[in-house]
Amino acid sequence: MGKQANLYSFSGVDTLAPALRAYVISCQEAGLARHGVFKVGVSGGSLPKTLAQALLAPPSSDNNEADTVKWGKWEIFFADERAVPLDHQDSNYALLKAELLDKLPADAEKPAVHPIDIQYLDDTQELADQYEQTLVRSFASRDSVKLPIFDLLLLGCGPDGHTCSLFPGHELLRETSAWVAPIEDSPKPPPKRITLTLPVVNHSVRVAFVATGGGKKGIMKEIFEEGNGLPCALVNEGTGERCSWFVDNAAVEGVSYPRRPFSL
């Protein structure tokens, strides 16, 4: 059996955030070495806030260069997005903007951010197809690459075990050819969304989940002990040691799965 997902558990977000920062920066450096940019996909939920806590902290003074977020080299994509205007309260773009992008220091270089094209909001298939074209333009043509390879996907885990907008038992989990797919019956509102598909998620160089709070402990037990075909478990199985979970102790209380001390 291949190596399994890494589970890193911390006392709380304050101790999780510096480790997440170190992890993201190591993925950034690997991306820069590979192709001169850092291609990262992010989801919504609580992730942008935790990410901001991790990445907006000043670099440690003893290792300034190695601890630097090189924003100007980042290309940010959305792992999933709701079919709403970009300033809507349900928009993952709006959330990332408010939590992170608007808080970047004025003199910092800015990342290239790829939101959905709102002219297609009324047609979620077209919205997904157009977002796929955004990926095609960034990752080279679909003809030359079977699947895009993100340097890192930063994902959340829903209380039902969903990730991105891939929900338990949904037919979208069986998608094998599209890179980006529409969903019109999301059990979590709003119903109309687009999402990266499971093959794309599993093809990423690295996947990091961030899950905190005691409300997650039931689903974490199911994901790590049984799997049950839950979307998060399918990512664990598809990515193995390329997958790392950053959680707090409350989220994994009583979960039988080996924790690792965090190291790069």
Ligand X SMILES: O=C(O)[C@H](O)[C@@H](O)[C@H](O)[C@H](O)COP(=O)(O)O
The footprint of ligand X (CB under 6 A) covers 43-47, 80, 92, 156-158, 162-165, 188
Q: Between 37 and 100, whose beta carbon lies closer to ligand X?
A: 100
Q: How many CB atoms lie within 10 A of CB 248?
A: 21
Measured from the CB of residue 17, what is the shortest distance to ligand X in angstroms?
14
Measured from the CB of residue 165, what is the shortest distance to ligand X in angstroms?
6
- Beta strands per DSSP E along 156-250: 180-183, 193-196, 207-211, 243-248
Measured from the CB of residue 98, what is the shortest distance to ligand X in angstroms?
15
Q: Between 59 and 187, whose beta carbon lies closer to ligand X?
A: 187
Measured from the CB of residue 215, what is the shortest distance to ligand X in angstroms?
8
Tokens of 156: 């959340």
- Beta strands per DSSP E along 67-190: 74-78, 80-82, 112-113, 152-155, 180-183
Tokens of 63: 């290792």
Query: How far is residue 16 CA from its own chain's centroid?
Result: 16
Q: Between 109 and 185, whose beta carbon lies closer to ligand X?
A: 185
Measured from the CB of residue 137, what is the shortest distance to ligand X in angstroms?
23
Q: Between 148 and 158, whose beta carbon lies closer to ligand X?
A: 158
Q: Between 109 and 253, whose beta carbon lies closer to ligand X?
A: 253
Tokens of 147: 């699947």
Query: How far is residue 112 CA from its own chain's centroid?
Result: 16
Task: Annotate 187-236 with three-state secondary structure.
Answer: CCCCCCEEEECHHHHHHCCCEEEEECCHHHHHHHHHHHHHCCCCHHHHHH
